[in-house]
């Protein structure tokens, strides 16, 4: 599969025009290890160092669709990896938006810094993602790219009322990607989306 075919596949998932445009502007080959560039346009996860992965594009498109991001949005990403999803988020929120992305592993954080250089609406942090980043809260949306049994309380606390959060939840029988919405009363509304397989949240 080449880059154009990947773009066609993403569009065929029902992705919105802004999401399809973000994929068109973001070359996945720039966000995978050099030795794996030949599989960058396949719709499958690609291994990263430290036992991590970058998710398949069709799944990322689905997650972004459920986050319903607009220009100017403020987003927290837990798990930067090499920065592919970060770059897509950067395109979606635009120049007036902000993407704060936290990576647990220093080696991945350093790789992402190189690959995302020049994006003025991205703030990259090497830190514990479970704590979020209160200094830039509240966030319109939060995306967690690693699985956990319970959503870290600090992440939900940093979500704006009316905001949306997507994360892979450990169920005891596997993992489900779930969408958490914060109601006007500050309560959780949780909707399971589909079974997934993500690495564990550190």
| Count of alpha carbons within 13 angstroms of residue 190, beta-carbon side | 12
Distance of CA 107 to the CA centre of its chain: 18
**Residue given tokens 């690609």 in the structure block:** 46
Q: Can you tell me the distance from the alpha carbon of 135 to that of 120, in angstroms, rounded to the nearest whole number?
A: 18
Helix or strand run (H / E) with residue 78: strand 74-78
For the question of residue 55 being annotated catalytic, the response is yes
Pairing, β 175-182 against β 159-170: antiparallel
- Burial pattern 35-69, b for ≥16 Cβ within 10 A else e, equals eeeeebbbeebbebeeebbbbebebbbbbbbbbeb
Considering 11, 12, 38, 55, which one is annotated as catalytic?
Answer: 55
Q: Is residue 134 exposed (0-12), middle (13-18) or buried (19+ Cβ within 10 Å)?
A: exposed
Residues contacting residue 182 through CB under 8 Å, at least 6 positions apart: 156, 159, 160, 161, 162, 163, 164, 165, 188, 189
Catalytic residue ranges: 55
């Amino acid at each position: 599969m080449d880059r154009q075919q990947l773009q066609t596949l993403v569009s065929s998932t029902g992705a919105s025009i802004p999401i399809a445009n973000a994929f068109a502007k973001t070359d996945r080959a720039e966000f995978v290890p050099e030795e794996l560039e030949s599989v960058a346009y396949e719709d499958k996860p690609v291994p990263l160092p430290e036992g991590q992965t970058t998710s398949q594009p069709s799944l990322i498109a689905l997650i972004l669709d459920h986050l319903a991001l607009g220009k100017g949005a403020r987003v927290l990403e837990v798990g930067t990896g090499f920065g592919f999803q970060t770059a897509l988020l950067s395109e979606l929120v635009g120049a007036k938006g902000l993407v704060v992305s936290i990576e647990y592993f220093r080696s991945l954080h350093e790789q992402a810094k190189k690959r995302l250089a020049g994006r003025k609406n991205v703030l990259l942090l090497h830190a514990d993602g479970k704590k979020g980043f209160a200094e830039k809260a509240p966030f319109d949306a939060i995306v967690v790219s690693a699985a956990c049994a319970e959503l870290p309380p600090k992440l939900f606390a940093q979500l704006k009322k009316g905001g949306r959060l997507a994360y892979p939840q450990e169920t005891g029988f596997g993992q489900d990607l779930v969408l958490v919405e914060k109601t006007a009363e500050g309560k959780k509304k949780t909707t399971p989306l589909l079974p997934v397989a993500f690495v564990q949240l550190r």
